[in-house]
Chains A and B, each alone.
Chain A
Amino acid sequence: MGTSVTWREIDLGGSVAGGTSENYKTGNWRVERPVIDYGKCVKCLICWLYCPEPAIVRRGNEVRVDYDYCKGCGICAEECPVKAISMVPEEV
């Protein structure tokens, strides 16, 4: 929801068109960020499967973290069988 929309234009009854979650960058909720060590990564895609958001983005067997939406829950780091993901404190 843009902050320029007045009450005259705002959608009826607190309803909004679908897909608005893309506009809410929830990554700023994060306290720790997952960092992938690609030297250790075996491309098993376990992190991609387990990410609840999903903020692990996959292209082929390559994975990366989408920091716009990753909330830093740490499930990927916990589940990685080769300990290729570490949780690094966010700088305040």
Chain B
Amino acid sequence: MPCKGNKYGSRGGVGKMITKSLSRQHRIALTGNDAVAYAVKQAKVDVISAYPITPQTFVVETLSRYVYDGELDAKFIAVESEHSAMSAVIGASLAGARTFTATSSQGLAYMWEALYAASGLRLPIVMALAARALSAPLNIHNDHSDFFGMRDAGWIMFNGEEAQETYDLTIMAYKIAEDPRVLLPVVVSYDGFIVSHAISDFYALNDDVVAEFLGKRTTGPKIDPDNPRSFGVLALQDSYFEFKRQQYEAMEKSRQVIQEVFKKYAEISGREYRPLKEYMTEDAETCIVAMGSTVGTARQAIRILRERGEKVGVVGILQYRPWPTKEVEQIFSKFKKIIVMEKTVSHGARAGPMYEDIASTLYPKYSNVKMIDYTYGLGGRDISPQGIIDIYRFGKELIEKDRNDKVQFYGVRE
């Protein structure tokens, strides 16, 4: 059975790594939140500012302990809100600091205007997002509504499936953000509770390896008394458009930089990342698309379906912005049917954000590929391998009956 899966990050890379690069890393067991904090400590950030919110809180709790214990030489700025947290890291980043913040859900929503300021000012800020549903009604559990909500804020957006990916992406995020060709903020998201609170073992690079990989921050806009400049200026009809066009170009250029950083990281860690994670797709006719922890659940479902003779595979989205257009076209154009699973609901839209991205990538060149969109798991409703098997069966049937013109809901009481 062809199996391309799991060699990009996750567990699959580990076997290859043991022979090559074990001397450069160590195996530890931490929650997803603590894995992020561990990566941030190793990245030797200068300034952290954050406000606690479930399920992210432990990231900054652990970081504040690192600072208090003297394990991390950084300034921890406790603030009264997420709006101030983002504003504080913007200020610190403008002062030349390597910065970090973390949030979830309502906290991210409260940051909204400052998110655009961070990217517009071209600041290499890194943020962790323990993805959580948005109110109302109030819910603390995982879905991707907050993550997709910041889609157009100009941030580079990654989603880690489990602790290993989240740890690796957090370190790589600094390398990507601070590249002079990029200079954009990066968000690393991971599923609230499912990843953030579950303890799992993973391979962490040794401190000196991370220090050598990242070095010190030397790039980006910087306040300099000897060379006075104005930042965040008023730019009206005569110049705003040019600034935004330039910012768009930075996101385009980041594609190449991300590729280079993934490659360099593979050399030191043995874990080779790609924007899309394929599993059993080589001869697949139908493909399930998912993001976050569901990708792992889907692999289990695919193994069961393969035993039953179904030609199905899964593609996990690791890099959401910039949207990996070339890779999506290359991989998805070969399928007959695509079932997109989204942990968010786009009210009033034709479909969810990932469906629309895939559809607009394939159309019109590959308009023969049939697609259907499933909303599932809102507010943390669990998805099991059996759930994904159901979605596969129903989705395939609806496509065959030409009834794929509407978003389907899986797991809601009808």
Contacts and interface: CB of A to CB of B under 8 A. Distances in A.
Contacts of A6: 242
Contacts, number: 57
Interface in A10-68: 10, 12-20
A14 B233 contact: yes
Contacts of A19: 228
Q: How large is the interface on A (under 10, 10 to 19, 20 to 34, 35 or more residues)?
A: 10 to 19
B229 interface: yes
Contacts of A20: 230, 233
B228 to A, nearest CB: 4
Nearest to B249: A7
Given A5-B239, A18-B228, A10 B246 contact: yes
A91 B411 CA distance: 71
B264 to A, nearest CB: 24
A92 interface: no
Contacts of B228: 17-19
B124 to A, nearest CB: 11
B233 A16 contact: yes
B212 interface: no
Interface stretch (B31-39, B115-123, B391-399, B400-408): B115-123
A22 to B, nearest CB: 12
B238 A14 contact: no
Contact of B231 (A1, A10, A14): A14
A13 B156 CA distance: 16
B120 A13 contact: yes
A27 to B, nearest CB: 18
B243 A10 contact: yes
Given A1-B238, A5-B239, A5-B242, A14 B121 contact: yes
A38 to B, nearest CB: 37
A10 B230 contact: no
Contacts of A16: 229-230, 233
Is chain B's interface secondary structure helix, strand, loop, or mixed overall? loop
A15 B242 contact: no
Contacts of B245: 7
Interface in B242-287: 242-243, 245-247, 249
Contact of A15 (B229, B238, B241, B249): B229
B229 A14 contact: no
Contact of A18 (B229, B238, B243, B246): B229
Interface in B222-244: 228-233, 235, 238-239, 241-243
Given A12-B183, A12-B221, A17 B242 contact: no
Contacts of B239: 1, 5, 10
A91 to B, nearest CB: 26
A51 B232 CA distance: 27
A14 B249 contact: no
Interface in B96-149: 120-123
A14 B120 contact: yes
Contact of A7 (B229, B230, B231, B242): B242
A13 B229 contact: no
Contacts of B183: 12-13
Contacts of A18: 228-230
Contact of A13 (B221, B241, B249): B221
Contacts of B249: 7
Nearest to B119: A13
A7 B252 CA distance: 14
Nearest to A17: B229
A83 B214 CA distance: 67
B122 A12 contact: yes
The 4 closest A-B pairs by CB, nearest first: A13-B122, A18-B228, A7-B245, A7-B242
Given A12-B183, A13-B123, 5 more contacts: A1-B238, A7-B242, A13-B122, A13-B247, A17-B230
20 contacts: A1-B238, A1-B239, A5-B239, A5-B242, A6-B242, A7-B246, A10-B239, A10-B242, A10-B243, A12-B183, A13-B123, A13-B247, A14-B231, A14-B232, A14-B233, A15-B121, A15-B233, A16-B229, A16-B230, A18-B228
